[in-house]
Every structure is written in C-alpha cells, then in structure tokens.
Structure 1
Amino acid sequence: MSKIYRYIILIIALTCVSSFAFSQCNEFTKKDCIPLLSPYTFNGQLNNTVLSEGETAELQLTFYADQEYRILVAGEDQLGQIRFQLLDVEYNVLYDNKDEDFTKLWDFSVESTDDFIVRVMVDQNMNPEDTESGCVSMLIGFRAFGSRTLFK
C-alpha cells in the first residue's frame, strides 16, 4: 500500500513542477517578449516551451498574402544564442538567423498564402555536465501590407 502512496505523491510532484515551469515560461513570454513585437500586432498565440541545450522544436504556421509579419524568437539568458529558421513544407530553408548574427527578430511578407515551418534550435554545450534548460518563446506579429510608418 505504501508503494501506491509513493507513486501518487511522485505523480503529484511531477505535475506541480511541470505546471510551475510552464507558468514561468508564460510569464517570460508575456513580460519580456510580447513588447518586442511592436509596432506589429501580436497574433494572440503564446508559443513557448522549455528546451534544453541541443534540443529542437518546430511549429507549422500559415502566413497570408498582403500581410507583413515579424517573427520573434527569444530564450532565457542561460540558453545563449537561439537559432531559428523559416522553412517551406518540403523543409527547404528560406531564412536562417545564423546568417544575421542570431538576431531575435525578422520582418518579412509572403507573395501568396501558404504554410511554413519555424524551426527553433538551442545549441549544445560542449560540456554535457553543464547542460541548461530554459524557456524559449516564438511569437508572431502582423500588420496590413504597406501600413509601415515612414519617417522623413
């Protein structure tokens, strides 16, 4: 009977720890990331996860013609530089932030409505004993094409 109680306590503890980690991730996203989308309008989808060094996550999204988009990919400081790529559905790389010194933001538009994949990668630390994990957020902002504010 005591084994059953141990398993129940273990399950409750794991559930509480994972809920706590995801709530911290949501707070990081809301507080530190969403404001960086300005002047674009946040699409309302909180796309975040806890990743460890060496892990990859992918998200398939639809981007529409006649819209300008901003992709923001940011991670907690302990993860270092976060790499992200935009791929078509056949996994051809269309953009890689590695080519732009690991920028967190990328603004773009598409010629026609289509599905794309955003791949997020956390580099592997050379020392596996020091592996860190942390929150990584991937957010999308949008605005009508041509609504860009121009300064003279």
Structure 2
Amino acid sequence: MKTTIKTILIIFYLTALPAILFAQCNEYTKNECIPQLTPYTFNGQINNAVLSEGETAELQLTFYKDQEYRILVEGENNLGKIQFQLFDTDYNLLYDNSEEDHTNLWDFMVENTDDFIIRIVIPEDQQKNKVESGCVSILIGFRAFGSRTIFN
C-alpha cells in the first residue's frame, strides 16, 4: 500500500512540476519583461523557457520589412549575463550582445521580410558546485518608422 501511494505521488510530482515551473515563468515574463519593451508594441508571443547553466536554445522568427524591432532577452538573476545572437537562416552571425557588454535589449530594422534565428546561451559558472536554472524570456516588440541597424 505504501509503495502504491509513493508511486502515485512521484508520478504526480513529475507531471505537475513542469506545469508549475512553466506557470511561474509566464508570470515572470508578464510582470518583469513585457514592460521593458516600451515604447515598442509587444507582438503578443510569449517565448520563454526554464534553462540551466551551460544550455543553449534557439528560436526562429520572421521579421517584416519596414518595421523597427526590439529584441528583449531577460533571465532571472541567478543565471548571470545571458548571451544572445541573431543569425540569418544560413547561420551567418548578424549580432552578438557579448560585444555590447551583454545588453538585454537590441533595436534594429530589416530591409526585407525574412526569417532569423535568435540563439540564447546561458553561461556556465565554473566556480559553483550547484548548476543554477531559471526562466529566460525572449520577447519581440515592433513599431513602424525609424531604425538603429538595417540588414539586407
């Protein structure tokens, strides 16, 4: 009987834990990250994940001609400085925030509608014994007119 109860509890925790973490990540994104897109309009897509030190994630998005964009990559404090890069679909590097002291925002404009890949790299801290994990949000804001950087 005790074994059955323990098994049921273990199954419950294994299935419920990802849902709980995902819900917490959504709340973090809504409360802490979306307001940072101002004065850009949030595109409505919540892209977030729970990542651990040393992990990499990629997201492919379409950016449209004559729109100015803001990419926001924000992670919980325990993850340290998060690196993000923008590539075209042939994996030619177009931007790397590590060249700008790991800024979490970047504004740009594309000349033609095209797909791009955003890569997120969570640094590994060699000084710690315990691997940290936390929520990382990748949000896109847009507006017409103006630019910071234009890609062909």
Query: Is the structural similarity TM-score above 0.5?
Result: yes
Question: Following the alignment from structure 1 to structure 2, what is the Cα–Cα distance between the partners of residues 77 and 57?
Answer: 18
> Secondary structure at 2:65's aligned position in 1?
coil
Matched, 1:27 2:27: yes
Distance 2:136 2:51 in 1: 7
Runs of 4+ in 1 over 6 A off after TM superposition: none
> RMSD between aligned alpha carbons?
1.6
Residue of structure 2 equivalent to 1:94: 94
Q: Report which stretch shifted further, 82-91 or 138-147.
A: 138-147
Q: 2:42 aligned with 1:42, yes or no? A: yes
Question: C-alpha deviations, 1:77-108, integer Å up to 9, x for none?
Answer: 00000000000111111000000000000000
Partner in structure 1 of residue 114 of structure 2: 114
Measured in 1, the distance between the counterparts of 2:123 and 2:146 equals 36
SS of the residue aligned with 2:129? Answer: helix
What SS is found at the alignment partner of 2:118? strand
- State the secondary structure of the residue aligned to 1:130: coil
Unaligned 5+ residue runs, structure 1?
148-152
Deviation at 1:125, TM superposition (A): 1.1
Corresponding residue number in structure 2 for 1:150: none
TM-score (norm 1): 0.91
User: Percent identity of the aligned residues?
Assistant: 63
Distance in 2, Cα, partners of 1:30 & 1:88:
28
Q: 2:150 — aligned with what?
A: none
Alignment of 1:133-144 (within 5 A): 133-144=133-144
Distance across 1 between alignment mates of 2:127 and 2:14? 27
CA distance in 1, matches of 2:8, 2:129: 30
Matches within 5 A, 1:5-16: 5-16=5-16
Alignment of 1:139-150 (within 5 A): 139-146=139-146
Aligned counterparts of 2:114 and 2:142: Cα–Cα separation in 1: 15
TM-score, with normalisation over the residues of structure 2?
0.91
